């Protein structure tokens, strides 16, 4: 499963109306740590098909980012049943992101 690219138009359908767990990566262009997460998220999306992984350019859609209190990039927000249930801010290890995404850190 690949990482879904989010826009304002598909955000609700892919995230807030989703019944399962969704991890959204709020990133910005030119952010080195954001780019470092790309391959990690792709690997996790393939390893955990029960979790939807998605990316949203926070600079292109600042109103959506602000609605979820995203103030810096990268920020990962985990949604459960369409509701924010956790967040990670900044670059962190793949194992920590995996625990965050799968709920093992709860």
Our answer to whether residue 86 is catalytic in this structure is no
Our answer to whether residue 31 is catalytic in this structure is yes
d(C-alpha 19, C-alpha 17), whole Å: 6
Q: What are phi and psi of 60, to 5 degrees?
A: -80, -25
Structure tokens at 21: 């767990």
Name the active-site residue from 34, 37, 77, 101.
Answer: 34
3-state DSSP assignment of residue 89: strand
Name the active-site residue from 1, 31, 59, 91.
Answer: 31
Nearest CA to 56 out of 48, 46, 37, 44 is that of 37
Catalytic positions, please?
31, 34
């Amino acid at each position: 499963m690949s990482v879904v690219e989010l826009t304002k138009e598909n955000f609700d359908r892919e995230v807030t109306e989703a019944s399962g767990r969704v991890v959204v990566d709020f990133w910005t262009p030119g952010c080195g740590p954001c780019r470092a997460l790309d391959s990690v998220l792709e690997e996790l999306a393939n390893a955990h098909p029960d979790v939807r992984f998605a990316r949203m350019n926070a600079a292109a859609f600042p109103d959506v980012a602000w609605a979820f209190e995203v103030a810096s990039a990268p920020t990962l927000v985990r949604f459960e049943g369409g509701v924010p249930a956790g967040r990670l801010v900044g670059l962190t290890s793949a194992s920590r992101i995996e625990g965050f995404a799968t709920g093992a850190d709860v």
